[in-house]
Amino acid sequence: MNSDLTSDLNSDFAAVAATERFFCSEAARLRRDPIAGTASHGVVWVLIEHRGGWPLDGFEGLDIEPETKALVLSAATAARARVLLVRRPGPRRREGLSHWAVLRHEGSGAYRQQWGTWNKDEDLAEIATALSLPGQLGHPPVLLVCTHSQRDQCCAVWGRPVGRALSERWPDLVWECSHIGGDRFAGNVVVAPDGVYYGRLDAESSVATIEEHLAGRIHGEYLRGYTDLFPAQQAAVAAMLRRFGPAGRNDYVVAGTVRDGDHWRIRITGSPPHPASVDVELEARRAAPHQLTCRGPAMSSALVYEVTSISTV
């Protein structure tokens, strides 16, 4: 091929690339990036309803009374809580009190939640008090759908249809939320305070997945992980669910974790009819560098976990 033709082709390819819009979630789907082991760690959630636009940095970027903001952030840091902005899917409601909540996941599987309302910035100081208390037992779970377009366009493109579909089925449980991590796995849904991350959902698969979850049957197909576990443990539990079928949130317990360099051995115990004790072995490796978010052009290498064996003990 002569140099002029090569130059013309390169120019054409560059022009096409410049006009094509990059979606990190589409790129991740094409690469088949593994989703197991990608849930952010944490067991305490602070939800703050905010019906206006969400800043890039979520709650930290809101233009509210500085002392109240500092108090909430300090209390959240002390409790190792994740602070999320939330709103109901669909047309934005402008009137009436806004809500806040503190949600906790306990190892026993018990839900603890504390809800309140706010009208002026200073009302949010009640969150700091709620974070210092255990909260009330009970309440149904909350379904959080990431739609934070300022953070990543994929969250809105994939998240909003998911939020609408879920809210048609469970209108009282569903909230859109700000950034929860893993933009390339949009649409992302978190069941809180269960602390279960799902990814790569669309309108149809989200309804089926959450129906199963609420019935005590978590599947491995769309599971990113449980937020009380570390990434290798999350990947091991997802492998168990894929191998032995769906299970409830607390039907599997990580009983032991051994690491030798990049090799992990996770022992998982189950309650009947699931296997009593299983060892899952995994190898950790760095994937090839890629652009992992729509906003960040820098190339990054994601850490992935490959299951090498699953054996009953």
Q: What is the pLDDT of residues 167-187, one digit of tens each?
A: 999 999 999 999 999 999 999
Domain that holds residue 181: 44-230
In order of 24, 127, 198, 236, 309, the CA distances from 306 in angstroms are 22, 40, 19, 9, 9
pLDDT confidence of residue 15: 34
> What's the confidence (pLDDT) of residue 271?
86
Does 269 reside within a domain? no
Residue 192 sits in a domain of what CATH number? 3.40.30.10
Dihedral, 19, 25, 28, 30 alpha carbons, nearest 10: -60
Model pTM score = 0.90
Q: Number of folded domains in the chain?
A: 1
Position 68 in a domain: yes
Cβ-in-10-Å burial (0-12, 13-18, 19+) of 297 comes to exposed
Please tell me the predicted confidence (pLDDT) of residue 1.
43
C-alpha 166, offset from chain centre: 16
- Show the DSSP H helices in the chain as ranges: 3-19, 24-31, 66-78, 126-131, 153-169, 203-214, 231-244
Determine the pLDDT at residue 96. Answer: 83
> Is residue 64, in this structure, part of any structural domain at all?
yes
pLDDT of residue 88: 95
Q: Is residue 133 part of a domain?
A: yes
CA–CA distance, 33 with 14 (Å, rounded to integer): 26
Is 106 domain-assigned? yes
Does residue 275 lie in a domain region? no
Question: Which residues of the chain carry a pLDDT beneath 70?
Answer: 1-19
In a domain, 58, yes or no: yes
Given this model, what pLDDT does residue 7 score? 39
In a domain, 238, yes or no: no
H/E stretch holding 190 reads strand 189-192
What pLDDT sits at residue 27? 94
- For the record, the structure tokens of 34 come out as 């593994």
